[in-house]
Structure 1
């Protein structure tokens, strides 16, 4: 895999590809490489662009915009982020402080100009693909939403069997816990830090899913991403591609808590993978002082990060949707 050199970034632009049909319809945005080391979406978008240019995927209704590399600095460096994580604290900045702020000033209006977002990612530990959705319909203050039915329909058509919900409110609970504990100022205690591309899209009246296509180096990840793009185009009626029926009963899990790493000496009990099942009382890890960290109920370990920094998310805990 090759990446452009950092010097190639001096032009300071974001490359997008838009196809606008002559008939009105939904406006879809597809993002790859929001994190620079997650390139399955980039490769899949490149394949789809070639198919569109060859007339193999006609765009007959609405608009589709594809962004192969959403964070060109992180992509050029071959790492998750450039100056910071683009998929956190997503909002326009009047006085941008870093590269990701400047990208957000271009990306946020792009999100606002579309109705639906498909954001393509991958993850660092082995595991099967899954798709993340937002909250159920609600009129609360954190993430009010009214398009949960459409979002779940999109999620189940992307391909994976497992659907995960509850990101932002669980993240906000972690923020509250850090703030009440008066943790170090270096720790993130701003609830908006949990807002990324999909949360921003929902806040502007659209709906969105994050597709985690598999482990970073999984050779099947590109095929997973390409299938999801094609199925999204078919579902929205943007292209007359055949629509594959979704799996009848997806496995919907809800994040319910986040546990931070409190000390560099905190250790997991074993090498966890996302969605490993645990029984109530089962040992998940041990704090540096010997305190056991156990599963509060039957559930699942999600996003385990043995390399998490002090005060950062160590793992999430999920349960099946009731």
Structure 2
């Protein structure tokens, strides 16, 4: 089997690998390459496929589906998007208007057939790997949910040093901010909904794993470890020798608290920021083209700083420590 993440990335089809145990169990879907310039997930999945082929990985229960390259056009172009962001406006449509909508029409029913989703990504700035989870259990209208414990357990077992919550909440707040305080309508909110929001809407749960900076040589290892730990947590496969069931210590849990857009091409950061750089209240972060200084509103952390953001797009996010408790690491299978 080729280890080249670009091999076979034809733009008119998706390569989907399915494994079904004779023993009942969870249904897990793992996605890589939702964005074309994020290769670590693809490499991690290809390593899993090679282990199945070599017989060093056996599926003990349930069903496993692996999609190494979820956006072949973006991968072929080696850029984030083909025609638009696949991880936005993620819902099936009767008349797909672009390439990513056609891909969504294939992926959405695939996601809906599964109970658990692990979506593997990476990011542009420097920074360490982290997991993103959804809301706490709620019956609200933005993202009702009832499986936060299971999702929290998955995030814990993946083993990243940081877990982040609050994506859709802060996306809605950003829309309202751009509209001068007016609540975002449902169509605008839909653009903030991606693969994990979709599986939650179908009754499942999922975690986005940001494996590190795009070209970090350790990022594919992060992806592979996350897949193996997820399989062990769900009782679907044994852990390989030498791989622990979870983190050595609990991760730091952060909540997204704000988003700042770049408004002009001459807006600039005061220095090169990395994701999760810590800032103190009042510390300068960036400067607007007119000389207005942007400072940290409180003690917190910079997330997803993008010095190349287009005017009108997200420039950086701000996070603060969260009081949420994800629970102890429990229930992982033993090593092979």
- Corresponding residue for 2:216? 218
**Pair 1:114 & 2:117 matched:** no
Unpaired stretches in structure 1, ≥5 consecutive residues:
183-188
Equivalences for residues 246-257 of structure 1 within 5 A: 246-257=247-258
Unpaired stretches in structure 2, ≥5 consecutive residues:
324-336
Match of 2:74, SS state, is helix
Q: Is this contact kept in 1: 2:302–2:316, CA < 8 A?
A: yes
Match of 2:109, SS state, is helix
- Corresponding residue for 1:15? 15
- Corresponding residue for 2:33? 33
Q: Is this contact kept in 2: 1:5–1:76, CA < 8 A?
A: no
The one-character-per-residue Cα deviations of 1:247-291 (angstroms, maximum 9, x if unpaired) are 332100000111111111211111111111111111111111111
- Corresponding residue for 1:190? 188
Match of 2:92, SS state, is coil
Normalised by the size of structure 2, how large is the TM-score? 0.90
Instruction: Assess, with a 3 A threshold, how the Cα gap between structure 1 residues 247 and 150 changes in structure 2: closer, same or farther.
Output: farther
CA RMSD of aligned residues (A): 1.7
- Corresponding residue for 1:320? 321
Instruction: Assess, with a 3 A threshold, how the Cα gap between structure 1 residues 5 and 310 changes in structure 2: closer, same or farther.
Output: farther
- Equivalents in 1 of 2:256, 2:247: separation in Å? 23
- Corresponding residue for 1:303? 304
- Equivalents in 2 of 1:58, 1:201: separation in Å? 26
Q: Is this contact kept in 2: 1:32–1:69, CA < 8 A?
A: yes
- Equivalents in 1 of 2:322, 2:181: separation in Å? 30
Q: Which moved more, 1:111-120 or 1:257-266?
A: 257-266
Normalised by the size of structure 1, how large is the TM-score? 0.94
- Equivalents in 2 of 1:117, 1:155: separation in Å? 11
- Corresponding residue for 2:231? 233
- Corresponding residue for 1:3? 6
- Equivalents in 2 of 1:225, 1:96: separation in Å? 31
- Corresponding residue for 1:186? none
- Corresponding residue for 1:62? 62
Q: Is this contact kept in 2: 1:45–1:68, CA < 8 A?
A: yes
**Number of residue-to-residue matches in the alignment:** 314
Match of 1:156, SS state, is helix
- Corresponding residue for 1:45? 45
By how many angstroms is 1:3 displaced?
Answer: 3.1
- Equivalents in 2 of 1:60, 1:119: separation in Å? 22
- Corresponding residue for 2:98? 98
